[in-house]
Amino acid sequence: MAKALIIVDVQNDFCEGGSLAVAGGAALATEISEMLAETTDFDFVAATQDWHVEPGSHFSETPNFRTSWPVHCVAGSKGAALHRNLDTEDIDAYFRKGKYDAGYSGFDGLLAPEDEVAVGEREAHESAAENNESPVSLDDWLRDNDIDDVVIVGIATEHCVRATALDAVNAGYNTTVLRDFVAGIDEDAIEETLEELEDAGVEVK
């Protein structure tokens, strides 16, 4: 059985100085990099990115911070790039999500073209369509690589980490969330989310 680490949305806009910053985001990027340097537990590593083009009501000038949010992670922008503290050397694949919707779950993401800058310094293009290829989803990629176990880290615990973990366990993967390697917005909501994940069959450790 192969195991994959899924790094959720460790992007500039979700770290200090970004348009939707989560406290501790930059430090988390460093901690994930240090973990990867010290472990051989993972056969594959994937990273997800919010990659918004026209996400509709997900963006709002008067956000409620539940279903609508300030503009963030616009496709190709500096805010959508992975944070500089995250070492991308061991990342095997990048999945971009939310072009035209909220895209909370990494399982909504599609594999980014290999010839693009990994952290996203320019507009995404539809290379798969241009080559008459079917877009590759995160689920496709995991199954193609015979991955049974997924370990999830990243930002934000109550939103994209939660959605990704729930989709992973519902898709049949043995799913773990590392509580020391996620960052969220509200401490009470974080604990409620971790309890919800455990109830759904996710191992939280």
What is residue 191's predicted lDDT score, i.e. its pLDDT?
A: 95
What is residue 120's predicted lDDT score, i.e. its pLDDT?
A: 43
Annotated catalytic residue within 13, 97, 108, 139? 97
31 CB-near residues (< 8 Å, 6+ apart): 180, 181
The tens digit of pLDDT for each residue in 36-74 reads 999 999 999 999 999 999 999 999 999 999 899 999 999
Domain boundaries, the chain: 2-204
Work out the number of other CB atoms within 10 angstroms of the CB of residue 123: 12
Does the active-site annotation cover 99?
no
Regions in the chain scoring below 70 on pLDDT: 115-133
- The residue assigned the tokens 């994940």 is 197
Does the active-site annotation cover 160?
yes
What is residue 115's predicted lDDT score, i.e. its pLDDT?
A: 61
What is residue 122's predicted lDDT score, i.e. its pLDDT?
A: 37
What is residue 133's predicted lDDT score, i.e. its pLDDT?
A: 65
What single-letter amino acid sits at 52? Answer: H
Does the active-site annotation cover 140?
no
- Exposed e or buried b for every residue in 125-152, given b needs 16+ CB within 10 A? eeeeeeeeeeebbbbebbeeeebebbbb
CATH of 2-204, one of 3.40.50.850, 3.30.365.10, 3.40.50.720, 3.40.50.300: 3.40.50.850
Work out the number of other CB atoms within 10 angstroms of the CB of residue 102: 21
What is residue 1's predicted lDDT score, i.e. its pLDDT?
A: 83
Chain-centroid distance of CA 121 in Å reads 17
Tokens, residue 55: 């996400």
User: pTM here?
Assistant: 0.92
Annotated catalytic residue within 13, 108, 149, 160? 160
